[in-house]
Chains A and B, each alone.
Chain A
């Protein structure tokens, strides 16, 4: 693996993604945790650029960093007055052992070629544009049914969230 712009970018985004993730699960201040979450999500958006999916990278930044992280920030601030949580963790040691064991199993699975030899040079040299995705989303042979279901799901989630979080007295 030679050292070029793609590999350097991969390692930079790896640091962003994993460092942000570790920051999310270890920070004591949840507001800083949302900042770490944004760093991690930005690293994932960088991966999408490296994997030639620029539309997904833009959606990742708009939806995750722009909407979900801001929503979580609001939730942190609305539940902020409860600072009587002394300890960050419960079940620390079993959780750590379980996640470490899971990581080792997954690492074994992705590095050892159980499912046939990996050929990393065989990357298809196709160019897919956002227009292809847009056509496929409304194509009857494509993803029109999941697309409509996703629209209904978003509407239901929005109405449900408003209904659940509404104040009873007002």
Chain B
């Protein structure tokens, strides 16, 4: 079997790729895609810890069910985020987050 730390290392690498994308990309859609990468890295961690843990039977499903809820939240986040991006694009002809400054003080 593959040891646990290899799953965690791959998840850490995927998370940091996502962090780099979120911090540096100019296009809002690309930023949202990088956020999806980060959520997937977290999901790998949750499922790996669930598989390798030796907890009692009452906690047997925690990591599994939490991953399912992360999937649900990710779907909601993608839908609302893309709706906001499309609305900003329609009003400003721009998908660059730095140009949406109406609420800036």
Contact = CB atoms under 8 A, between A and B. Distances in A.
A167 B83 CA distance: 11
B54 to A, nearest CB: 6
A21 B12 CA distance: 12
A157 B84 CA distance: 12
A85 B20 contact: no
Chain A contact residues: helix, strand, loop or mixed: helix
B34 A71 contact: no
Nearest to B37: A21
Interface residues of A, number: 85
Contacts of A17: 10, 14, 40
Contacts of B64: 53, 56, 128, 133
Given A25-B17, A99-B17, A161-B80, A44 B87 contact: no
B101 interface: no
Nearest to A13: B10
Nearest to A111: B5
Q: Which 5 A-B pairs give the minimum distances between C-beta atoms? A: A157-B76, A120-B3, A106-B12, A95-B23, A25-B21
Given A56-B43, A64-B36, A154-B76, 7 more contacts: A60-B71, A72-B33, A95-B20, A110-B5, A118-B4, A142-B61, A157-B75
